[in-house]
Amino acid sequence: MAENTKKDTKKIEQEEGADGEADTEKVELLDLGPFEIIFGQRMPSYFFKFQFKNVEYSSGRNKTFLCYSIEQQGKECERSEGYVEDEHTGMHAEEAFFTNIFQECDGSLSYAIIWHVSSSPCAACASKIAEQLSKCPNVHLTLFMARLFMWEEPEIQQGLQQLQAAGCRLRIMKASEYNYCWNTFVDNEGQAFVPWEDLQDSSMFYEGKLLEILQHV
Protein backbone atom coordinates (compact mmCIF):
# COMPACT_ATOMS: atom_id res chain seq x y z
CA MET A 1 0.00 0.00 0.00
CA ALA A 2 1.30 3.45 -0.90
CA GLU A 3 2.41 5.63 1.98
CA ASN A 4 1.99 9.41 2.17
CA THR A 5 4.14 10.88 -0.56
CA LYS A 6 3.27 14.56 -0.81
CA LYS A 7 3.97 16.47 2.37
CA ASP A 8 3.69 20.18 1.69
CA THR A 9 2.32 21.48 4.95
CA LYS A 10 0.30 24.41 6.17
CA LYS A 11 -0.54 25.76 9.60
CA ILE A 12 -4.18 25.61 10.63
CA GLU A 13 -6.10 26.13 13.82
CA GLN A 14 -7.08 22.81 15.39
CA GLU A 15 -8.97 21.71 18.46
CA GLU A 16 -6.75 19.49 20.59
CA GLY A 17 -7.16 18.67 24.24
CA ALA A 18 -6.10 15.48 25.96
CA ASP A 19 -8.19 16.38 29.00
CA GLY A 20 -11.37 16.80 26.95
CA GLU A 21 -11.26 20.59 26.90
CA ALA A 22 -11.05 22.51 23.64
CA ASP A 23 -7.61 24.01 23.19
CA THR A 24 -6.39 25.87 20.14
CA GLU A 25 -2.90 25.22 18.86
CA LYS A 26 -0.99 25.35 15.62
CA VAL A 27 -0.44 22.00 13.98
CA GLU A 28 0.80 20.93 10.59
CA LEU A 29 -1.63 19.25 8.23
CA LEU A 30 -0.98 17.95 4.75
CA ASP A 31 -1.76 20.47 2.02
CA LEU A 32 -3.37 18.20 -0.56
CA GLY A 33 -3.94 19.00 -4.20
CA PRO A 34 -7.49 18.99 -5.54
CA PHE A 35 -7.40 15.42 -6.86
CA GLU A 36 -5.08 13.76 -4.38
CA ILE A 37 -5.99 10.68 -2.36
CA ILE A 38 -3.70 9.48 0.41
CA PHE A 39 -3.43 5.88 1.59
CA GLY A 40 -1.69 4.78 4.77
CA GLN A 41 -1.57 2.42 7.71
CA ARG A 42 -1.56 4.79 10.70
CA MET A 43 -2.47 8.47 10.77
CA PRO A 44 -1.02 11.14 13.09
CA SER A 45 -2.93 11.40 16.37
CA TYR A 46 -3.88 15.05 15.82
CA PHE A 47 -5.58 14.15 12.52
CA PHE A 48 -7.72 11.62 14.32
CA LYS A 49 -8.59 13.86 17.26
CA PHE A 50 -9.64 16.69 14.96
CA GLN A 51 -11.23 14.93 12.00
CA PHE A 52 -13.11 12.27 13.98
CA LYS A 53 -14.40 14.60 16.69
CA ASN A 54 -18.18 14.14 16.65
CA VAL A 55 -19.18 17.78 16.88
CA GLU A 56 -22.49 18.77 15.31
CA TYR A 57 -21.01 21.65 13.33
CA SER A 58 -17.85 20.41 11.63
CA SER A 59 -16.26 23.69 10.58
CA GLY A 60 -12.83 23.17 9.02
CA ARG A 61 -13.32 19.42 8.66
CA ASN A 62 -13.47 19.34 4.87
CA LYS A 63 -11.93 15.90 4.43
CA THR A 64 -13.11 12.35 4.85
CA PHE A 65 -10.94 9.85 6.69
CA LEU A 66 -11.94 6.24 6.09
CA CYS A 67 -10.38 3.52 8.24
CA TYR A 68 -11.01 0.05 6.85
CA SER A 69 -10.53 -3.59 7.69
CA ILE A 70 -11.18 -6.40 5.20
CA GLU A 71 -11.59 -10.02 6.21
CA GLN A 72 -11.58 -12.45 3.31
CA GLN A 73 -13.04 -15.82 4.22
CA GLY A 74 -12.53 -18.87 2.06
CA LYS A 75 -10.07 -21.73 2.26
CA GLU A 76 -7.84 -19.35 4.17
CA CYS A 77 -8.82 -16.27 6.13
CA GLU A 78 -6.93 -13.13 5.15
CA ARG A 79 -7.14 -9.70 6.75
CA SER A 80 -5.94 -6.27 5.66
CA GLU A 81 -6.42 -2.81 7.12
CA GLY A 82 -5.43 0.82 6.66
CA TYR A 83 -6.95 4.23 5.99
CA VAL A 84 -7.86 6.49 3.09
CA GLU A 85 -7.94 10.28 3.19
CA ASP A 86 -9.47 12.73 0.73
CA GLU A 87 -10.04 16.46 0.40
CA HIS A 88 -13.73 16.32 -0.58
CA THR A 89 -12.67 17.19 -4.13
CA GLY A 90 -12.24 14.86 -7.04
CA MET A 91 -12.60 11.23 -5.95
CA HIS A 92 -13.95 10.75 -2.44
CA ALA A 93 -12.47 8.26 0.02
CA GLU A 94 -15.37 5.82 -0.37
CA GLU A 95 -14.92 5.61 -4.13
CA ALA A 96 -11.13 5.43 -3.75
CA PHE A 97 -11.55 2.37 -1.54
CA PHE A 98 -13.35 0.46 -4.28
CA THR A 99 -11.11 1.85 -7.03
CA ASN A 100 -7.70 1.33 -5.43
CA ILE A 101 -8.04 -1.11 -2.52
CA PHE A 102 -10.96 -3.47 -3.02
CA GLN A 103 -10.82 -3.68 -6.79
CA GLU A 104 -12.01 -7.23 -7.44
CA CYS A 105 -14.59 -9.36 -5.70
CA ASP A 106 -14.14 -13.13 -5.94
CA GLY A 107 -17.61 -14.68 -5.99
CA SER A 108 -16.35 -17.85 -4.32
CA LEU A 109 -15.26 -15.94 -1.20
CA SER A 110 -17.06 -14.05 1.54
CA TYR A 111 -15.86 -10.61 2.60
CA ALA A 112 -16.53 -8.80 5.87
CA ILE A 113 -15.61 -5.14 5.48
CA ILE A 114 -15.75 -2.61 8.30
CA TRP A 115 -15.37 1.13 7.76
CA HIS A 116 -14.91 3.78 10.41
CA VAL A 117 -15.39 7.16 8.73
CA SER A 118 -15.07 10.69 10.03
CA SER A 119 -18.28 11.68 8.25
CA SER A 120 -21.16 9.80 6.64
CA PRO A 121 -21.17 9.51 2.82
CA CYS A 122 -22.55 12.19 0.53
CA ALA A 123 -25.52 11.24 -1.65
CA ALA A 124 -23.36 10.38 -4.67
CA CYS A 125 -21.03 8.14 -2.65
CA ALA A 126 -23.96 6.42 -0.96
CA SER A 127 -25.35 5.55 -4.38
CA LYS A 128 -21.97 4.20 -5.55
CA ILE A 129 -21.54 2.10 -2.41
CA ALA A 130 -25.04 0.65 -2.78
CA GLU A 131 -24.26 -0.19 -6.41
CA GLN A 132 -21.07 -2.00 -5.40
CA LEU A 133 -22.93 -4.00 -2.77
CA SER A 134 -25.60 -5.01 -5.27
CA LYS A 135 -22.89 -6.29 -7.62
CA CYS A 136 -21.18 -8.25 -4.85
CA PRO A 137 -23.77 -9.94 -2.60
CA ASN A 138 -20.95 -11.83 -0.88
CA VAL A 139 -19.61 -8.54 0.54
CA HIS A 140 -20.93 -7.54 3.96
CA LEU A 141 -20.21 -3.90 4.83
CA THR A 142 -20.57 -2.34 8.28
CA LEU A 143 -20.20 1.42 8.33
CA PHE A 144 -19.42 3.24 11.59
CA MET A 145 -19.73 7.04 11.32
CA ALA A 146 -18.34 9.71 13.64
CA ARG A 147 -20.71 12.38 12.30
CA LEU A 148 -23.68 12.58 9.95
CA PHE A 149 -22.87 14.77 6.96
CA MET A 150 -25.63 17.35 6.23
CA TRP A 151 -28.20 14.98 7.72
CA GLU A 152 -31.04 17.51 7.35
CA GLU A 153 -30.88 17.33 3.54
CA PRO A 154 -33.41 14.97 1.86
CA GLU A 155 -30.88 13.58 -0.64
CA ILE A 156 -28.49 12.69 2.19
CA GLN A 157 -31.26 10.93 4.07
CA GLN A 158 -32.24 9.06 0.92
CA GLY A 159 -28.63 8.01 0.44
CA LEU A 160 -28.46 6.52 3.94
CA GLN A 161 -31.75 4.74 3.36
CA GLN A 162 -30.42 3.41 0.07
CA LEU A 163 -27.37 2.02 1.84
CA GLN A 164 -29.50 0.26 4.42
CA ALA A 165 -31.69 -1.22 1.67
CA ALA A 166 -28.53 -2.52 -0.03
CA GLY A 167 -27.60 -4.44 3.12
CA CYS A 168 -25.09 -2.04 4.64
CA ARG A 169 -25.15 -1.98 8.43
CA LEU A 170 -25.08 1.68 9.53
CA ARG A 171 -23.85 2.59 13.00
CA ILE A 172 -22.68 5.67 14.90
CA MET A 173 -19.21 5.53 16.46
CA LYS A 174 -19.18 5.30 20.25
CA ALA A 175 -16.34 5.31 22.76
CA SER A 176 -15.48 1.66 22.08
CA GLU A 177 -15.12 2.32 18.32
CA TYR A 178 -12.99 5.40 18.97
CA ASN A 179 -10.74 3.36 21.23
CA TYR A 180 -10.46 0.61 18.60
CA CYS A 181 -9.53 3.09 15.85
CA TRP A 182 -7.05 4.84 18.13
CA ASN A 183 -5.22 1.58 18.78
CA THR A 184 -5.50 0.24 15.22
CA PHE A 185 -5.20 3.18 12.81
CA VAL A 186 -3.46 5.95 14.78
CA ASP A 187 0.22 6.54 15.45
CA ASN A 188 -0.57 7.09 19.12
CA GLU A 189 3.00 6.69 20.47
CA GLY A 190 1.77 4.33 23.17
CA GLN A 191 -0.73 6.79 24.63
CA ALA A 192 -4.23 5.68 25.61
CA PHE A 193 -7.25 7.27 23.96
CA VAL A 194 -8.80 9.98 26.12
CA PRO A 195 -12.46 10.69 25.20
CA TRP A 196 -13.50 14.33 25.04
CA GLU A 197 -16.14 15.52 27.46
CA ASP A 198 -19.21 15.38 25.19
CA LEU A 199 -18.27 12.33 23.09
CA GLN A 200 -21.05 10.15 24.52
CA ASP A 201 -23.73 12.86 24.29
CA SER A 202 -22.78 13.62 20.69
CA SER A 203 -22.86 9.92 19.80
CA MET A 204 -26.34 9.60 21.29
CA PHE A 205 -27.47 12.69 19.37
CA TYR A 206 -26.30 11.29 16.04
CA GLU A 207 -27.64 7.84 16.89
CA GLY A 208 -31.09 9.32 17.40
CA LYS A 209 -30.93 11.22 14.11
CA LEU A 210 -29.78 8.12 12.22
CA LEU A 211 -32.62 6.06 13.70
CA GLU A 212 -35.15 8.70 12.62
CA ILE A 213 -33.75 8.74 9.09
CA LEU A 214 -33.68 4.97 8.67
CA GLN A 215 -37.19 4.52 10.06
CA HIS A 216 -38.66 6.82 7.39
CA VAL A 217 -38.22 4.46 4.45
4-36: string of b/e by CB count within 10 Å (b at 16+)? eeeeeeeeeebbbeeeeeeeeeeeebbebeeeb
The one catalytic residue in 94, 152, 153, 197 is 94
173 vs 79, residue with greater confidence: 173
Q: Where residue 180 falls among pLDDT bands split at 50, 70, 90? A: very high
User: Residue 193: which of 208, 210, 174, 206 has the closest Cα?
Assistant: 174
Q: What are all long-range contacts of 205-209, with beta carbons under 8 Å and residues at least 24 apart?
A: 205/56, 206/54, 206/145, 206/147, 206/148, 206/151, 206/172, 207/172, 209/148, 209/151
Share of residues in the chain with pLDDT > 70 (%): 78
Q: What is the pLDDT of residues 113-139, one digit of tens each?
A: 999 999 999 999 999 999 999 999 999
- Chain CA centroid to CA 115, Å: 6
Q: Where residue 5 falls among pLDDT bands split at 50, 70, 90? A: very low
Share of residues in the chain with pLDDT > 90 (%): 58
Task: Indicate the pTM of the whole model.
Answer: 0.81
- Indicate the residue type of 24: T
Euclidean distance between CA atoms 69 and 81, whole angstroms: 4
94 is catalytic: yes
Identify the CATH assignment for 9-215 out of 1.10.10.10, 3.40.50.300, 3.40.140.10, 2.40.37.10. Answer: 3.40.140.10
Quick check: 8 pLDDT over 60?
Answer: no
Euclidean distance between CA atoms 125 and 86, whole angstroms: 13
